Amino acid sequence: MIKNQINIKIDSEVKSFSAGTVLMYQEVDKLLSISKIIKNYNLKEKGVPLEDCIKFLVCGVLDQKRSVREIHNNKDTLGKYIGEELSKTVLKTLYRALKTIGPKGEKIYSELNSKFEKICEVVILQNNIDYSSTYFEGEKVTIAKHGY
Lowest-confidence segment of 2-6, 52-56, 109-113, 136-140 by average pLDDT: 2-6
pLDDT tens readout for residues 5-42 = 566 555 666 666 777 888 889 999 999 999 999 999 98
pLDDT value at 114 more than 90:
yes
pLDDT at 36: 93
CA distance 82 to 86: 7
Residue 10: its pLDDT value, please?
A: 56
Which distant-in-sequence residues (6+ apart) come within 8 Å of 73 by Cβ?
none
| Per-residue pLDDT at 67 | 85
Which residues have CB under 8 Å from 25's CB, separation 6+? Answer: 55, 58, 59, 62
- Give the Cβ contact number of residue 133 at 10 Å: 6
Summary mean pLDDT of the chain: 81
